Structure 1
């Protein structure tokens, strides 16, 4: 169970940015397709009329020129047409190999318009006798001729050209959609990062109060909330510290009076035990209220610290500890707070992890280094061999002032030990996992960035 709030990059990418980008991209694509269809429909008739008029004009002028020119000048006229106008005239023979007209969506309209002017027997072809061009037939008296025009003179935008332009416009539109989505989601991303910092116990920088009125109001409210939380945290620390300090004075006086009172040894031991328990509870309040500042972090030999604490605990007669601690397990942190965390976990295992039916506690402690480079982490495991806790109550264990008496035996204290652990680890950028051990008992795992 991962108890540290995390916002993975994959989850971020599957969120509002990509949703906005896909919606804008879909809208742009649909609009582009609709625009191309509309332009094609609107442009089809004028373009067909323009090309038809050009064909009719060329054929009519060529027909008139050949008809009214002297026979001895026709060869020179044909040469001029080829040289200057790109027009060629060939005799139409019965054995000509004639291919179908060009495969163009405008061709049916062009054929209808040209035949209406030049006659129903006008023929069209894309290739005659293997020569490519735009071929149109016409007659002079009883002789039939082919007039060949260069395709470039009649070619509009082809399908590939339409696709190319549409692809370019779509690409630019998608880039624009990505930029717009980023601008829309930038304030939300800042808010997400700031909220994650709050969840990790850090103090985020104030969000900029500029932009649309909705963003201004949201950022202003968040900044006010951060200030209020900071004030609440400060007030709580002051109140808890004040109460704890004020309580310790009468406790010290009570301890002195018990020492001087005429009591039996049994009564004196009972009262001193109660006073000691109250003093421990006050200490927990102070530890919970104490903030952990990142400015106090130093290089901590966590392996060495853990080994020292394990040796101290092994001196107790009812504890059996097994250790597997790696060397050079260094982290950046507050050594006092990290010692308190490890002490709380080991003490929790010692108190509530007694072997079922036995009078001693068996604790397994390990410290390992995993990963490499910037991703290198120190992994600490503290496991006991007790009865564990119900799975549905594991998260509840880490809440302040919670004592699972029925699951972990008769608990003493204010129920702040594990809450202090989680609070300190959050401020160290660490992750805490709690689970029931496969062979019985409870297992705590801490993962901290290696120094």
Structure 2
């Protein structure tokens, strides 16, 4: 039963409304037919039967010399027309008309003399042929059928009921669609929150129940923004408070080096200080991830080319295959951090076969950073998106916190995209940043994504 029911509340309510309206109409029509229409038809048949008996008696008692005149005036026939039948043919589309006529004929037989034959002639000129006696000779005489037996009024009632049922269903659909619109807005706002955006406040001027849900969602969104701001402030404070003594320690070590201190110890200590500084910077990058940066239209290929030149200056050559990209709005500094983190990971963990390629399809821009390092399983790669997770090929590497890919994945989501892992042809790994193409004019669509509480 659950598989047969529609999935949406709108469809279920409309289906329920249609069933209820149809059931109500069937019950109403049944009461109308049984308690109103049927007694009316039976009374008409009784009156009509009495009229036929009176007419038959009068015609039977008429003089023989007036027979021809009466036969001509009454259009009497020795045989009924060929299309006249004993029982009306049942037609599905004219069910109510057939039902009323059958009820009329059954009742009429009870009021006619025994042995009286009755035939029914349908369209185009409905008539009832009855065998009577004119001056003692049997003839078939055609009589007009009473309106009660033809079911015209009943057909009108049925059509009116169907029209009212359709009107009720359409009204219910309009009301339910009106109620569903705030729910759709709520679902869209929830999706924007999950994507790291801050949606505008939902209206709270609708029905009480919907307004309460919208108000609670607005409060939740504000609480998330406050929590995000508090987290960023706390991490900034921690970073500031820790970097101050680190700076003093670095200065003291430099002074010790000038006084012929242990150079090996001082060099190791400075390396540890650099690692601590790098870790602090990664924490700050993860806390911020560029939410406050304004998107701008720019050349993503130019940014990648500049980074590749910088890495080449450090002795790490990246093979570039840059495809033609459409105009796209992105956060320049944040996007540079995304590409740089991917390239740095390729250098540290892949070491060989370094490459960056870009291309675009109808829906998204793709930035792929590849290497020939030892591949990881799909489960391990997905696990690396979480903070503080490091792959097995990172064992023995220092200076990392397991936040690199988490920062990249967060930045991709900030731009409405995703981070994907693909095996590279010939061995190795490709990491794709898939960024949807903005279809809005200018940077309006991307500009709405501001101060998002990503995650």
Give the TM-score taking structure 2 as reference length.
Answer: 0.79
1:391 is aligned to 378
1:144 is aligned to 138
Structure 1 SS opposite 2:197: coil
1:256 is aligned to 251
Paired residues of 2:50 and 2:111 also in contact (CA < 8 A): no
1:82 is aligned to none
Q: Are the structure 2 counterparts of residues 218 and 89 from structure 1 closer, same or farther at C-alpha, using a change threshold of 3 Å?
A: same
Shift of 1:347: 1.2
Shift of 1:229: 0.6
Shift of 1:222: 1.3
Pairing of 1:321-336 with structure 2 (within 5 A): 321-336=318-333
| Counterpart-to-counterpart distance in 1, 2:371 and 2:160 | 69
1:215 is aligned to 210
| Counterpart-to-counterpart distance in 2, 1:202 and 1:94 | 85
1:365 is aligned to 356
Pairing of 1:211-360 with structure 2 (within 5 A): 211-261=206-256, 262-290=260-288, 292-293=290-291, 296-317=294-315, 319-353=316-350, 360=351
| Counterpart-to-counterpart distance in 1, 2:139 and 2:115 | 12
| Counterpart-to-counterpart distance in 2, 1:68 and 1:332 | 105
Pairing of 1:30-109 with structure 2 (within 5 A): 30-43=23-36, 45-53=38-46, 55-56=48-49, 58-60=51-53, 62-63=55-56, 66=59, 75=69, 89-93=75-79, 98-103=84-89, 104-109=98-103
| Counterpart-to-counterpart distance in 2, 1:142 and 1:162 | 45
Deviations 1:375-432 (A, max 9, x none): x4322222332223332233332223x2224354345333222222222222222233
Shift of 1:297: 1.3
| Counterpart-to-counterpart distance in 2, 1:213 and 1:118 | 68
Higher deviation after alignment, 224-233 or 294-303: 294-303
Shift of 1:236: 0.7
Q: Are the structure 2 counterparts of residues 232 and 246 from structure 1 closer, same or farther at C-alpha, using a change threshold of 3 Å?
A: same
Shift of 1:208: 2.5
2:406 is aligned to 419
Higher deviation after alignment, 157-166 or 286-295: 157-166
| Counterpart-to-counterpart distance in 2, 1:436 and 1:212 | 52
Higher deviation after alignment, 385-394 or 242-251: 385-394
Higher deviation after alignment, 343-352 or 116-125: 116-125
| Matching of residue 123 in structure 1 with residue 117 in structure 2 | yes
Structure 2 SS opposite 1:90: coil
Shift of 1:231: 0.5
| Counterpart-to-counterpart distance in 2, 1:96 and 1:302 | 90
Q: Are the structure 2 counterparts of residues 269 and 442 from structure 1 closer, same or farther at C-alpha, using a change threshold of 3 Å?
A: same
| Counterpart-to-counterpart distance in 2, 1:254 and 1:365 | 39
| Counterpart-to-counterpart distance in 2, 1:214 and 1:189 | 15
Higher deviation after alignment, 89-98 or 175-184: 89-98
| Counterpart-to-counterpart distance in 1, 2:189 and 2:429 | 34
Deviations 1:157-198 (A, max 9, x none): 599878755654454343234223313322321211111111
Shift of 1:146: 2.9
| Counterpart-to-counterpart distance in 2, 1:95 and 1:216 | 73
Paired residues of 2:53 and 2:113 also in contact (CA < 8 A): no
Q: Are the structure 2 counterparts of residues 219 and 170 from structure 1 closer, same or farther at C-alpha, using a change threshold of 3 Å?
A: same
Structure 2 SS opposite 1:48: helix
Q: Are the structure 2 counterparts of residues 94 and 107 from structure 1 closer, same or farther at C-alpha, using a change threshold of 3 Å?
A: closer
Structure 1 SS opposite 2:201: coil
| Counterpart-to-counterpart distance in 2, 1:313 and 1:159 | 88
Q: Are the structure 2 counterparts of residues 118 and 449 from structure 1 closer, same or farther at C-alpha, using a change threshold of 3 Å?
A: same
Higher deviation after alignment, 276-285 or 304-313: 304-313
Instruction: Report how many aligned residue pairs link the two structures.
Output: 418
Paired residues of 1:431 and 1:446 also in contact (CA < 8 A): yes
Shift of 1:238: 0.7
| Counterpart-to-counterpart distance in 2, 1:295 and 1:120 | 101
Shift of 1:61: 6.1
In structure 1, stretches of 5+ residues that fail to align are 1-12, 80-87, 354-359
Structure 1 SS opposite 2:200: coil
1:23 is aligned to 16
1:10 is aligned to none
Paired residues of 1:298 and 1:335 also in contact (CA < 8 A): yes
Give the TM-score taking structure 1 as reference length.
Answer: 0.80
